[in-house]
Amino acid sequence: MTEKRTLLYEGKAKNLYHTDDETIVLAEYKDQATALNGKKKDLIAGKGELNNQITSLIFRELNRRGVRTHFIEQVSNTEQLNTKVAIIPLEVVVRNYTAGSFSKRFGLAEGLKFPTPIVEFYYKNDALDDPFINDAHVKYLEIATDEEIAYLKKAALEIDEILTDIFAQIDLKLIDFKLEFGRLPDGEIILADEVSPDTSRLWDADNHHVDKDVYRRDLGDLIPVYQQVLAGLQTKFEGK
């Protein structure tokens, strides 16, 4: 049994702990919800366990389909064990349909399907408000090499295909989502962080938001919406 030790990092939605194995960290999902880069902040009881369970289920499925991820196992309602990686400070966003900041930036309606998915990078830096960043900037800032940038885009698009399929199986459209990758000690890049309705936009058949936009845009209670996602995934992928 891997044991939880001291706090390694306190995040907005998760705390990371050392374990007695230096190659493994424990992620504890919290009930805190934030939006607008932390300017909107609330405690939503039950959100942590829902996101831990949803992320665990999705990462299990990604591992099963051959994607290299940091996920090892879920160890409690709010906790999971992950392989320790050095997080690459990029938010890798994949968009299948217009929404959110893309619609705002270009003055477009939400929900227009792209002919092919779009990959974007944002520089993970709270003090700078996570700015949009291009390949040349990523290279100049020595965040990743040309080869690594190409790999991140390819991996993000492959993961998009799998996630689109997973959510289609529970009748949800994957509009867009954010990924984070990390490096193992030997330099290999693997998928890290989380995949949940906190980090994705999911629309149902009536184009209702089944994700954090419910909180961001004050559209109603978040918990029943996240419960709907978890219940659907459990029925489809765990036979529950």
Query: Which residues contribute to the site for ligand UDP (CB under 6 A)?
Result: 91, 93, 99-102, 130, 176-178, 199-201, 212
* 3-state per-residue secondary structure call for 127-139: HHCCCEECHHHHH
Secondary structure letter of residue 142 according to DSSP: T
Write the CB contacts of 31 (distance below 8 Å, at least 6 apart in sequence). Answer: 43, 44, 45, 46, 47, 48
Shortest Cβ 216–ligand UDP spacing (Å): 7
- In the complex with ligand UDP, the residue whose CB is nearer, 19 or 69, is 69
How far apart are the C-alpha atoms of 2 and 29, rounded to whole Å? Answer: 18
Phi then psi for residue 99, to 5 deg, are -175, 175
Shortest Cβ 233–ligand UDP spacing (Å): 17
How far apart are the C-alpha atoms of 88 and 153, rounded to whole Å? Answer: 13
Write out the DSSP string of 149-196.
HHHHHHHHHHHHHHHHHHHHTTT-EEEEEEEEEEE-TTS-EEEES--S
How far apart are the C-alpha atoms of 121 and 134, rounded to whole Å? Answer: 7
How far apart are the C-alpha atoms of 195 and 233, rounded to whole Å? Answer: 13
How far apart are the C-alpha atoms of 192 and 24, rounded to whole Å? Answer: 13
- In the complex with ligand UDP, the residue whose CB is nearer, 102 or 203, is 102
- In the complex with ligand UDP, the residue whose CB is nearer, 5 or 12, is 12
- In the complex with ligand UDP, the residue whose CB is nearer, 19 or 213, is 213
Shortest Cβ 91–ligand UDP spacing (Å): 6
- In the complex with ligand UDP, the residue whose CB is nearer, 75 or 229, is 229
Shortest Cβ 99–ligand UDP spacing (Å): 6
- In the complex with ligand UDP, the residue whose CB is nearer, 130 or 135, is 130
CA distances from 120 to 8, 46, 177 (A): 29, 31, 10
- In the complex with ligand UDP, the residue whose CB is nearer, 179 or 233, is 179
Write the CB contacts of 100 (distance below 8 Å, at least 6 apart in sequence). Answer: 110, 176, 201, 213
